[in-house]
Structure 1
């Protein structure tokens, strides 16, 4: 299967979201992927309360009409409020990967399989019993986690693990291992709400995803 192209990267920052648009491909490809992500693959995380958005076009030379096309697509989502649409001087292009970038991967991790990733990952699919997902950053699973997940594998205790349906065999963040799931104390909400795991004072804690806003976004990216 051919590797998916990624011309649009969406990352969370303290002020909201930053959209990073590839400046090395055709502009029409960027618009098509931007529209697809907002309407299809990222619909779950781009709904809800008002979110401030900054758009980075890289060193691409664009017209005002092209900027308006970008604004129009993003503004079609009623909760996304555009704060800026910016281009960069070529001399200011970054050379190192952004540690806050979240890479999206689709698929399924079956028993005996291990998916590894360098950085933050959003996995669109299920991790089955006996399957493992490992990342140096945070792990966001838009599906069921019924296998093992290890975030911050290089020692980053700021990483989190989130899943739409959290039924893991084991969770690890850096060198910290979770308690058994039946000791998490989430009650009936365990089956109906997305949860996330994080480290607090050297221990792993589990909470509902809507409490994530209480924490610093910078801490978990």
Structure 2
């Protein structure tokens, strides 16, 4: 089902009714057309709809105006507001979260490194050092300190190192500590959360693509 009026188009989908609002007219014209269609019962008995503003980004007060018109005056709920565009603040946050942050240095004991997105360290992470990232952590060197990837809830992130012998690894809310006794580290490994057991496990680096095939897929890691 598709119904087109002057400034809005209504489409019936498997998820319900989506109302597409024209993105070229003024906001006042949109409200007037919405009011006209509601008065003519064009959206009669549509108890919950999605509102898609296409290439227009609504301010909070504009969303409130539409919500007041649909919900308060005509008892039509709004599932969500959707758009083809995002704000500058959202774009900056998205970019910051997905950008790889390189460091050519050794993170020494007592030092702490915190970043949004992925961290790529060309150097060592010494015992007593702490690295925290909202994304994954890659160490081209010896990892012997503390690393927290996927902070606070990125369960699909990983920790990879040329030499893996950390004192502690966290991924999202899962924790893995080094044993109390002395152990040798291992070459070219990565840590990840096994989705079946919800526990942190280690595997050879050459299996990273198989276990986390979407690790570098921006569409899978976006907002």
| TM-score, normalised via structure 1 length | 0.50
Structure 2 CA distance for aligned equivalents of residues 219 and 212 of structure 1: 9
Following TM superposition, by how much is the alpha carbon of 1:180 offset from its aligned partner in structure 2, in angstroms?
Answer: 3.1
Q: Point out where structure 1 has 5 or more consecutive residues left out of the alignment.
A: 1-92
> Match of 1:218?
214
Structure 2 CA distance for aligned equivalents of residues 217 and 124 of structure 1: 24
> Match of 2:193?
199
Q: Point out where structure 2 has 5 or more consecutive residues left out of the alignment.
A: 1-87
Secondary structure class of the residue paired with 1:144: strand
CA deviation profile, 1:131-152 (whole Å, cap 9, x unmatched): 1111111000001011110001
> Match of 1:159?
157
Q: Does 1:178 align with 2:172?
A: no
Does the CA-based 8 Å contact 2:103-2:120 persist in structure 1?
Answer: yes
Number of residue equivalences: 124
> Match of 2:112?
114
Runs of 4+ in 1 over 6 A off after TM superposition: none
From 103, 122, 125, the equivalent of 2:101 is: 103
Does the CA-based 8 Å contact 1:198-1:204 persist in structure 2?
Answer: yes
Does the CA-based 8 Å contact 2:139-2:161 persist in structure 1?
Answer: yes
Secondary structure class of the residue paired with 1:107: coil
Structure 2 CA distance for aligned equivalents of residues 123 and 210 of structure 1: 19
Does the CA-based 8 Å contact 1:151-1:173 persist in structure 2?
Answer: yes
Structure scoring higher RCO (CA < 8 A, sep ≥ 6) equals 1
| TM-score, normalised via structure 2 length | 0.50
Structure 1 CA distance for aligned equivalents of residues 212 and 106 of structure 2: 30
**Alignment map for 1:77-96 (pairs within 5 Å):** 95-96=91-92
Does the CA-based 8 Å contact 1:168-1:181 persist in structure 2?
Answer: no
Structure 2 CA distance for aligned equivalents of residues 105 and 142 of structure 1: 10
Q: Which structure's CA Rg is the greater one? A: 2
Question: CA RMSD for the aligned pairs?
Answer: 2.7
From 201, 204, 207, the equivalent of 1:208 is: 204
Q: Are the structure 2 counterparts of residues 159 and 181 from structure 1 closer, same or farther at C-alpha, using a change threshold of 3 Å? A: farther
Does the CA-based 8 Å contact 2:156-2:212 persist in structure 1?
Answer: no
Does the CA-based 8 Å contact 2:116-2:134 persist in structure 1?
Answer: yes
